[in-house]
């Protein structure tokens, strides 16, 4: 694959979100399949692998370490702190410097590495000034435990405040045709400070693939069960958008998933989508999106068809929304 820049790193224009293999959408594949998928992703040209302490409460980092630790020079490794399961077994946001350090040490051990290339603050702790959390990450850079600092799901103001403490290499947030919030202010902030923008859920948690027609049977552990857009009544209305979307994919000569990724790549040369999957076939399909060219007319049609005004339902429920700082469109 072609490459894009994150600080001094050259990474594949499409990265791999590893979360799905261990967490988020119900039971993942068995370990052997996960190991195979991660290695075949490297073989296919992926050089940017994204995990976090939260994913499977450490299980995903262990899987990544076990599967591709022996190929450490083949990829840029990203993980995250600030969102974890605490010692009492409770999921929490915690951006205290001592906890960031503890989480990093645990991640290094699980991944089996001496240094993490890009380490994000997964969520900003409302009880800890961003300057304190980023200061702790800056200390880890000086100590050689991480190489670059990133932020996730934060506002443009937070990005700029953090950047004054330590250079921010990348900002990660949800971004796809149906989640356009970064366009309000975050993309501009990233451009201003020279940070890459990493787009998670770029195929809208499977919606834009066209292969999820019925959400009534989602697993109890599937996070989409808590997302208003996937409420069966809302989702049925959202599916109506896909008929024309499928026509635009056919016109472009690609799959629906590839069109979603190609749209993001065309939005800016500092944007790096990181689709996740539990399927080797889909992983390879996503990689091929790097070679899809979207015409100006199709770009215009896409953005008119699927946007914050045409999608029914919020991207998070009220509880989850409280944990993110990304700007919101008016109701």
Q: Are 116 and 317 in contact (CB under 8 A)?
A: no
C-alpha to C-alpha distance for 82 and 66, rounded to whole angstroms? 23
Instruction: Report how far Cα 114 is from the mean position of its chain's Cα atoms.
Output: 23
Residue burial 67-78, b: 16+ Cβ < 10 Å; e: rest: bbeeeeeebbbb
Residue 247 makes CB contacts below 8 A (sequence gap 6+) with none
The sign of the torsion formed by the CA atoms of 39, 196, 182, 137 equals positive
C-alpha to C-alpha distance for 162 and 295, rounded to whole angstroms? 37
C-alpha to C-alpha distance for 117 and 139, rounded to whole angstroms? 14
| H-run or E-run covering 186 | helix 186-193
| Strand 76-81 to 83-85 pairing | unpaired
C-alpha radius of gyration, the chain, whole number: 19
Residue 166 makes CB contacts below 8 A (sequence gap 6+) with 134, 135, 137, 138, 141, 149
Question: Would you say how long the chain is, in residues?
Answer: 331
Per the residue annotation, which of 23, 46, 55, 75 is the catalytic one?
55
Q: Is 120 a catalytic residue?
A: no
Q: Are 230 and 218 in contact (CB under 8 A)?
A: yes
C-alpha to C-alpha distance for 328 and 155, rounded to whole angstroms? 10
3-state class (DSSP) for residue 105: helix
- Token pair 């699927």 is at which residue? 306
- The residues annotated as belonging to the active site are 55
């Amino acid at each position: 694959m072609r490459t894009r820049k994150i600080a001094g790193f050259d990474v594949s224009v499409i990265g791999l979100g590893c979360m799905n293999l261990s967490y988020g959408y119900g039971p993942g594949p068995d370990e052997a399949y996960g190991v195979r998928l991660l290695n075949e992703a490297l073989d296919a040209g992926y050089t940017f692998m994204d995990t976090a302490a939260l994913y499977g409460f450490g299980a995903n980092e262990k899987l990544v370490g076990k599967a591709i630790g022996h190929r450490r020079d083949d990829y840029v490794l990203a993980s995250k702190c600030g969102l974890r399961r605490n010692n009492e077994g409770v999921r929490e946001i915690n951006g205290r410097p001592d906890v960031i350090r503890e989480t990093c040490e645990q991640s290094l051990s699980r991944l089996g590495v001496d240094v993490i290339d890009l380490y994000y603050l997964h969520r900003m702790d409302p009880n800890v000034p961003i300057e304190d959390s980023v200061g702790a990450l800056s200390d880890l850079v000086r100590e050689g435990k991480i190489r670059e600092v990133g932020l996730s799901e934060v506002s443009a103001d937070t990005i700029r405040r953090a950047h004054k403490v330590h250079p921010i290499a990348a900002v990660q947030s949800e971004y796809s045709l149906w989640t356009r919030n970064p366009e309000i202010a975050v993309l501009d902030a990233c451009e201003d400070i020279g940070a890459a923008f990493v787009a998670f859920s770029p195929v809208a948690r499977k919606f834009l693939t066209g292969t999820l027609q019925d959400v009534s049977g989602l697993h109890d552990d599937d996070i989409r069960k808590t997302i208003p857009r996937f409420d069966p009544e809302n989702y049925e209305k959202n599916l109506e958008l896909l008929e024309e979307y499928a026509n635009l994919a056919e016109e472009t000569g690609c799959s629906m998933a590839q069109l979603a990724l190609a749209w993001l790549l065309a939005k800016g040369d500092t944007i790096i989508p990181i689709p996740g999957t539990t399927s080797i076939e889909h992983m390879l399909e996503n990689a091929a999106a790097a070679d899809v060219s979207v015409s100006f007319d199709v770009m215009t049609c896409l953005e008119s068809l699927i946007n914050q005004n045409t999608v029914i339902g919020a991207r998070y429920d009220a509880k989850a929304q409280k944990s993110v700082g990304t700007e919101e469109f008016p109701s």
